[in-house]
Amino acid sequence: MEPIIVFENVHFSYPGDEKESLHGIDLSIARGSFVAVLGQNGSGKSTLAKHMNAILVPDEGRVLVDGIDTADESRILDVRRRVGMVFQNPDNQIVANVVEDDVAFAPENLGVEPKEIRHRVDSSLRLVGMYEHRMHAPHLLSGGQKQRVAIAGVIAMTPEIIVLDEPTAMLDPQGRREVVDTAFALCRGRGMTVVLITHHMEECIDADRVLILSKGRLTADGRPEEIFADKALLEREGLEQPETARLLRELREAGMRLPGEALKIGDCADQIAQALQAEERSRSSWQKSSPKS
């Protein structure tokens, strides 16, 4: 697959900080993929995210977005237009008093024609399911709704990549679902590249790829099934194995035949049910045949 974001040996430390926040990151993200980034507080996740749209630029190494070097100041708007960022605190990224005016903010900054802005604002709000609320005041919306407005606000730039930096950390479970579902819909339905940074493992299970960041280094990179099956790795990173993966592993250790990995509740239940039925069948056929002998 064609890479759309490339990190080449990226080092970064904040001014006045002795320790490096990013410690030689090499990473290539494929166009149209859904990449989840896990890591503890202070692991450098947000710093990584901020390198993707030139809010921060590397001290050493380079970051290419769609082939553009983010350190090239003359092309900074080209980078930012391609990479939409959604942040943790919904209140601190909404600039306007009315939902639709907020969504219009980025295209206005880019000097888009008024008619085209109107069109983009309406379609972005429909895409995240907030069109009905376009005339509302943002501070009266729920956390999940605010984050969806923030997503609409970056979609209106027609970006190719959306980077969500812990967008669900301050939300309740319902708001979390709203935001994660929206992110997946953008990737699967619209072909956008999505980078989701999160603490919540259950938000990663449908991703194409999971990265784990620890002390400024990438310590794991793989499909969610691989990462979450690796108990030792998760323990080392201070992460708990998802219930589904843990149950399958422990049942297997107890001698059940469970060939595949499954992270979703439904898939996991299917596997266990099938395994139990298979055992039942083999037992009954064994019981049928045994009296003869």
Partner 1 sequence: MAEIITEKLSHVYSAGTPFESTALHDVSISIPQGQFAAVIGHTGSGKSTFIQHLNALLQPTEGRVLLDGQDINNDKYTRRDVKWKVGLVFQYPEYQLFEETVYKDIAFGPSNMKLSKEEIDERVREAAAFTGVSEELFERSPLELSGGQKRRIAIAGVIAMRPEILILDEPTAGLDPAGCAQIFENIRSYREKSGATVLIVSHSMDDVARLAERIIVFDRGTVVMDDTPASVFSRAKELMEIGLNVPKAAELAVALRDRGIGLPEGIFTHERLLAALLQLREGRKC
Partner 2 sequence: MLRDVTLGQYFPGNTVVHRLDPRTKILLVVIYIIALFQAQGWISYGLVTLVTLVCMALSKIKPSSMFKGVKPMLFIIVLTALLNIFYTEGTPIRPGWIITWEGIARAVQMMLRIILLISGTFLLTYTTSPIALTDGLEMLLSPLKKLKVPVHEMTMMMSMALRFIPTLIAETDKIMSAQKARGADFETGSLIQRAKALLPILVPLFVSAFKRADELAVAMESRCYHGGEGRTRMKQLIMQRRDTIALVLGLLFLTAMIVLKRVGL
C-beta closer to partner 2: residue 136 or 177:
136
Numbers of helices and strands, H then E, in the chain: 11, 10
Q: What angle do CA 48, 53, 55 make, to 5 degrees?
A: 80
The site partner of 210 among partner 2, partner 1, none (C-beta below 5 to 8 Å per kind) is: none
Spatial strand order of the sheet with 217-222 comes to 83-86, 161-165, 193-198, 34-38, 209-214, 217-222
> Which residues, including other chains, have CB under 8 Å from residue 144's CB and lie 6 or more apart?
171, 172, 174, 175, 176, 177, 178, 179
The site partner of 121 among partner 2, partner 1, none (C-beta below 5 to 8 Å per kind) is: partner 2
The site partner of 173 among partner 1, partner 2, none (C-beta below 5 to 8 Å per kind) is: partner 1
Do the Cβ atoms of 180 and 186 come closer than 8 Å?
Answer: no
Give the shortest CB-197-to-partner 1 separation in angstroms.
12
Tokens of 68: 């553009």
- The answer to the question of residue 42 lying near partner 1 (CB under 8 A) is yes
| Residues in the chain, overall count | 293
The site partner of 283 among partner 1, partner 2, none (C-beta below 5 to 8 Å per kind) is: partner 1
The type of residue at 82 is: R
Q: Work out which of 169, 185, 233, 258 binds partner 1, going by CB under 8 A.
A: 169
Residue 73's Cβ-side half-sphere holds a number of Cα atoms within 13 Å equal to 0
C-beta closer to partner 1: residue 70 or 168:
168
- The answer to the question of residue 137 lying near partner 1 (CB under 8 A) is no
> Which residues, including other chains, have CB under 8 Å from residue 274's CB and lie 6 or more apart?
none
Tokens of 133: 């609320």
Using CB under 8 A as the criterion, which residues of the chain lie in contact with partner 2 when the complex forms?
50, 53, 55, 77, 80-81, 84-85, 87, 89, 91-98, 100-101, 104-114, 117-118, 121, 135, 137-139, 153-154, 157
C-beta closer to partner 1: residue 83 or 180:
180
Q: Identify which of 190, 164, 192, 189 has the alpha carbon closest to the alpha carbon of residue 179.
A: 164
How many other C-beta atoms are found inside a 10 Å radius of the C-beta of residue 281? 10
C-beta closer to partner 1: residue 70 or 93:
93
Dist. CA 266–CA 246, nearest whole Å: 15
C-beta closer to partner 1: residue 2 or 253:
253
- The answer to the question of residue 175 lying near partner 1 (CB under 8 A) is yes
C-beta closer to partner 1: residue 138 or 143:
143
Give the shortest CB-176-to-partner 1 separation in angstroms.
9
Residues in contact with partner 1 by the rule CB under 8 A: 39-42, 88, 142-143, 169-170, 172-175, 199, 202, 238-240, 242-244, 246-247, 250-251, 254, 256, 265-266, 268-270, 272-273, 276, 279-280, 283
